[in-house]
Amino acid sequence: MELIRGWHNLRTRHRGCVATIGNFDGVHRGHQAVLARLAEEARRYRLPATVITFEPQPLEYLRPQAAPARLTELRSKLQALQDHGVDRVLCLRFGQQLAETPAETFIDELLVERLGVRFLMVGDDFRFGHGRRGDYAMLQAAGERQGFAVERMPTVLDGGVRVSSTGIRQALAAGELAQAARLLGRPYRICGRVVRGQALGRQLGYPTANIAFHRPPPPLEGIFVVRVGGLDRPRPGVASIGTRPTVNGTRTLLEVYLFDFSGNLYGRHLDVEFLQRLRSEQRFDSLEALRAQMDLDAAAARDYFSAFGAGLQEQDDRT
Encoded amino acid at 257, one letter: Y
What is the DSSP track for 153-176?
A: PPP-EETTEE--HHHHHHHHHTT-
CATH topology of domain 187-318: Elongation Factor Tu (Ef-tu); domain 3 (2.40.30)
Distance CA 161, CA 167 (A): 9
User: Which of left, alpha, beta for 225 (phi over 0: left; psi -120 to 50: alpha)?
Assistant: beta
CA 51 to chain centre: 15
Sign of CA dihedral 76, 173, 161, 274: positive
Under 8 Å CB-to-CB from 267, ≥6 apart: which residues? 193, 194
Distance CA 282, CA 299 (A): 18
Question: Biggest alpha carbon distance in the chain?
Answer: 72
Under 8 Å CB-to-CB from 300, ≥6 apart: which residues? 225, 238, 278
Which homologous superfamily does the CATH classification assign to the domain defined by 2-158? Answer: HUPs (3.40.50.620)
pTM greater than the 0.85 cutoff: yes
| pLDDT of 217 | 84
Task: Give the Å distances, CA to CA, from 191 to 14, 129, 268.
Answer: 30, 31, 10
| pLDDT of 255 | 93
Residues of the chain with CATH 3.40.50.620: 2-158
Which stretches in the chain have pLDDT values below 50? 310-311, 313-319
Q: What share of the chain is helix, strand, coil (3-state, %, to 5)?
A: 40, 25, 35
Residues of the chain with CATH 2.40.30.30: 187-318
User: Which of left, alpha, beta for 210 (phi over 0: left; psi -120 to 50: alpha)?
Assistant: beta
Distance CA 102, CA 29 (A): 32
What is the DSSP track for 190-230?
A: EEEEEE----HHHHTT---EEEE-SSSPPS--EEEEEEEES
φ, ψ dihedrals at 144, nearest 5°: -65, -35
Distance CA 269, CA 318 (A): 23
Encoded amino acid at 37, one letter: R
| pLDDT of 219 | 87
φ, ψ dihedrals at 50, nearest 5°: -120, 135
| pLDDT of 262 | 82
- The string of pLDDT tens digits covering residues 100-158 is 999 999 999 999 999 999 999 998 788 999 989 999 999 999 999 999 999 998 889 99
